[in-house]
Every structure is written in structure tokens, then in C-alpha cells.
Amino acid sequence: MSARVLDGNWASSQVKMGLRERIQALKTRGVTVGLATVLVGDDPPSARYVAMKHADCAELGIDSFDYRLGADVTMAELLATISELNDDDRVHSYLVQLPLPAHIDQEMVLSAVTPAKDVDGLHPYNLGLLTLGEPKVVACTPAGIVELLNLHGVDLPGKHVVIVGRGVTIGRPLALLLALNRPGLNAAVTVVHSRVPSLVDHTREADVIIAAAGSPGIITADMVRKDAVVVGAGTTFAGRTLLSDVDDSVAEVASWVTPRLGGVGPMTRAMLLSNAVSAAEASLA
């Protein structure tokens, strides 16, 4: 193994340090940050993610509210919960955990969250602001990936970043984030669908590969140029075991690589907390 590790646990502790000060400043103004989650059904990985989000809130002194609905919830019942959260002054922001059961219209649900409380940055209005280059809130995993690279001193300007996967939670908003007119982000960005037959031709051209396909081991050592940076963002569960999009062999050729555990995941959670703090600050403005 030659690659250095992109350590999400360390990087998230750096982010949390800054957040603690902001949370304290809000407390002195009489505001306790409030974050809610809505979990529909009993998908075990989703339940574990939600539990971790509440543990993070407890660690930082954020009030968290845990809404749980059965897998057979109707659209009307779910929209009623969303409406309740939109009106609840204790809750500065919240998320509806994805994926949702097949009978639920995900677009309608994401659109029903009032944009100012959209901690995920997945409301069409917030995605629209990101497209326009003036985001108020950025989706947590893309924001976490950029911060993870930044905190490890991995420069992006001038680099060719290849994103594998174009899903709404990672690949697509990440491409928009990397296209922002901001110092530190001036990269050439390619988005490739994971089933493009010549995937390897694209990844071999990359200085930075970000795998967001949710396809375990899709990025193997032979697809990576020597000393490229490789970030595994897509996740799949086999029972309780978390599988990465990045095969272990990649560490032999990459200069930096995320570990199977403790890479992007902790950064997603840190950015969720950051968006929650920003939402509480914005409520005072």
C-alpha cells in the first residue's frame, strides 16, 4: 500500500471544532440549533445512518427530533409530517432519509420541504441556486468530499476530476459544486455513468476520481493512473458490512485514497451538522 489515507474521521473533527464555536455563539443568543430527521420504513442501513446523525447532534449540543413512519405510510400522511416540521419553530432544518419506499413520490416529498429548512440541499430551489452559482445550502456528501480533499491539501484547480455516477445525492450536485466560480474549485470536470462501456478510458485520464456509483469495487487499480487521487463515495451494504466503490487494490497506485470506513461518511455527517448550524444562523438574520 503506497497511498496516503484521506481520513474522514480526522477531517470531520476539524469541521466540528469550528461548529462548536458557532453553536455556542447561537446559545448565547438564546438559540439551540434544532435538526429533525424523518425515517420511513425500517431499512437497516437508513436506520443506522439516522441513529448516527442523532448521536452527532447529541455530541455537539444540537437538539434533534426523530420522526418515524411505517413503510406503508401514505403520501398524505408523510406530507402532513413535512408540513408539521415546516411550521415547527424548534426545528431550524430537517431531512427525509432516502431512499423512500417505491409508492412514495420522492420528488414531491423533497419539494414539500420548505427550502430554508432543507438541510440536504436537495430541494429544486436549492439545486437551482447551486446551478446558478449562488448556493445557500449544498448537498452534504458533495460538500463533504470537497472539504475532505481541501483539509488534506489536495488541490483541485487545473486538475481533471472524473465523477463516476450522476445520482441526485452525490454525482450531479458534486459536478455543479466543482463548477462554481470559487478559488480552489477551478477544475475540469467529467461526469460518467457507471455503465459507460469505456469507463476505464475516462478514469485513466483523471487526476482525481470520485466514485459515486453505489457499485462495490467498480474502481480497480488498472483503471487508475499512477498517483491519482481516488475518493470512494458510493456505498452498498452486504448485511451489516459497508462496501466501497473503490477496490482495495487501488491503494497500490493512487497517491491518496479513502479508506473503506471513515472516509466520506463522517464528512457527509459533518456537513449535515454544518448545514444545520447555518440554517439556525439564517433564522436569526
End-to-end CA distance of the chain: 49
- Crossing angle of helices 171-178 and 124-132, in 10° steps, is 30
Considering only 67-75, 90-98, 150-158, 189-197, which stretch makes contact with ligand GUN by CB under 6 A? 90-98
CB atoms under 10 Å from CB of 85, counted, come to 23
**Interface pick for ligand GUN out of 12, 64, 81, 141 (rule CB under 6 A):** 141
Interacting positions 119-138 with ligand GUN (CB under 6 A): 120
On whether 61 is known to bind a ligand per the annotation, the reply is no
- Crossing angle of helices 140-151 and 264-284, in 10° steps, is 110
**Interface pick for ligand GUN out of 81, 93, 97, 194 (rule CB under 6 A):** 97
**Interface pick for ligand GUN out of 109, 140, 229, 231 (rule CB under 6 A):** 140
Minimum distance, C-beta of residue 119 to ligand GUN, in the bound complex (Å): 8
- Strand segments (E) across 3-73: 4-5, 34-40, 63-69
3-state helix, strand, coil in the chain (%, to 5): 45, 20, 40
24 labelled catalytic = no
147 in contact with ligand GUN (CB under 6 A): no
Closest CB to ligand GUN among 97 and 203? Answer: 97
d(CA 113, CA 94): 8
Query: For the chain, what is the largest distance between any 2 Cα atoms, rounded to a whole number of angstroms?
Result: 56
27 labelled catalytic = no
**Interface pick for ligand GUN out of 81, 93, 169, 274 (rule CB under 6 A):** 169
d(CA 80, CA 77): 5
Catalytic pick among 7, 16, 43, 97: 97
Backbone CA torsion sign across 189, 191, 194, 196 = negative
Closest CB to ligand GUN among 159 and 172? Answer: 172
Catalytic pick among 16, 43, 53, 247: 53
On whether 235 is known to bind a ligand per the annotation, the reply is yes
97 labelled catalytic = yes
Which residues are near ligand GUN by CB under 6 A?
95-98, 120, 140-141, 169
Annotated binding site for NADP(+): 165-167, 235
